[in-house]
Amino acid sequence: MPEESIEHIDFDELNKKAISQPLVTHIYTADPSAHYFDGKIYIYPSHDVDAGEAFDDLGSHFAMEDYHVISMDTVDSEAVDHGVALHVKDVPWAERQMWAPDAAVKNGKYYLYFPAKAYDGIFRIGVAVSDTPTGPFIPEKEAIKGSFSIDPAVFEDEDGSHYMYFGGLWGGQLQRWRTGTFNADEPESPVAHLPADHEPALLPWVAKMADDMLQFSEKPKEISILDEKGNLLLAGDNERRFFEAAWLHKYKGTYYFSYSTGDTHFICYATGDSPYGPFTYRGRILEPVVGWTSHHSICEIKGKWYLFYHDSSLSKGATHLRSIKMTVIEHQADGSITTIKPYMD
């Protein structure tokens, strides 16, 4: 939701109309990546803080330093904060901005995947390992080779293969990787290096994980998101094109790739027959929330599907101080997902 409309919001009224309330209120949390591991719900969010950084379109005000893992025994039970699971000061390669993370499990080990800016100012994706889903996580000394940009989301397919989806525009720097290497040319502006409106939109990326879950087993590939005619969505199609917050889930054999449209504030989805795509745009999962960003995950818990998302209602609209929430979502008989309105009319 654009910032200029926030000053007119009566937050007491809005919170009464919200379809769900923050899962935790003692800290600010965002970008919830939810998983059902061993019969329990684990949420891997960003931990929002006010670090006093100036607001800009590169997201410098998202100056997070650590991660907390949140767990819930059931969808109705209390959300428990397990404290600091990983701090940037313990990650040798990372300097700042611990943005949206995700996690995976394999052979009894838990892997926390996270983006952060390295000392050269370039976002990379790192991994940290633990014997428990709540950490603490021990980081690898270097970022994942060949990783770039932000918002890793790791999907486990039915055959046990894991795939990482990633990428994000503007502050997430995806536009600076168009030629395959980082374009260090000034200006460091969110809109420099972007395609023109009539050109195909920038695409998210995917790479299969190696057996050890610590590296990619292949060079990352772009994921096509097509319109109903089979054409790539265009950069000027701001209400449908990929911006950030990739997520993948599988429902009845179909792969659902969902993402945020960034500056138009929707969570959208596209479907396909392979974890590599192509995916065809299908519609919106979530209408705009309070706060500029929208970021979600989708998780099956005991046969029902849930959308985990965030908004800035608790902080009365501070876009960098968000709170994670959850609500049920439904797949219809034709495979479409019913659009959620986060606040009742």
245 is a site residue for ligand FUB (CB under 6 A): yes
286 is a site residue for ligand FUB (CB under 6 A): no
62 is a site residue for ligand FUB (CB under 6 A): yes
* Catalytic residue list contains 90: no
Q: 66 or 151, CB closer to ligand FUB?
A: 151
Q: Are 94 and 118 in contact (CB under 8 A)?
A: yes
Q: State in angstroms the smallest separation of the CB of 151 from ligand FUB.
A: 5
Query: Measured between alpha carbons, how far apart are the two ends of the chain, in Å?
Result: 16
Taken in order 173, 178, 179, 180, the sign of the CA dihedral is: positive
Q: State in angstroms the smallest separation of the CB of 209 from ligand FUB.
A: 20
3-state helix/strand/coil string of 154-204: EEECCCCCEEEEECCCHHHCHHHHCCCCCCCCCCCCCCCCCCCCCCECCCC
155 is a site residue for ligand FUB (CB under 6 A): no
Q: Residue count at the site for ligand FUB (CB under 6 A)?
A: 14
267 is a site residue for ligand FUB (CB under 6 A): no
Q: 104 or 246, CB closer to ligand FUB?
A: 246
List the x/- string, 81-110, binding to ligand FUB by CB under 6 A: ------------------xx----------
Q: What is the DSSP letter of 302?
A: T
Tokens of 239: 């209400």
Report the residue from 66, 102, 151, 311 that binds ligand FUB according to the rule CB under 6 A.
Answer: 151
Report the residue from 295, 297, 298, 317 that binds ligand FUB according to the rule CB under 6 A.
Answer: 295
Cite the DSSP H helix spans in the chain: 11-17
Report the residue from 203, 244, 313, 329 that binds ligand FUB according to the rule CB under 6 A.
Answer: 244
Q: 95 or 273, CB closer to ligand FUB?
A: 95
Q: What is the DSSP letter of 262?
A: G
Q: What is the DSSP letter of 89?
A: G
DSSP run (H or E) holding 138:
strand 138-139
Q: 59 or 190, CB closer to ligand FUB?
A: 59
3-class secondary-structure state, position 50:
coil
Looking at residues 179 to 238 of the shown chain, list those that interact with ligand FUB (rule: CB under 6 A).
Answer: none
Pick from 4, 87, 35, 6: nearest CA to 311: 6
Tokens of 193: 């290096």
One of 31, 48, 102, 151 is an active-site residue; which one? 31
Pick from 135, 115, 139, 128: nearest CA to 295: 115
DSSP run (H or E) holding 88:
none
* Catalytic residue list contains 218: no
Place of tokens 């260090």: 184
30 is a site residue for ligand FUB (CB under 6 A): yes
One of 102, 151, 244, 311 is an active-site residue; which one? 244
**Contact footprint for ligand FUB (CB under 6 A):** 30-31, 46, 59, 62, 99-100, 150-151, 168, 244-245, 293, 295
Give catalytic residue positions.
31, 244
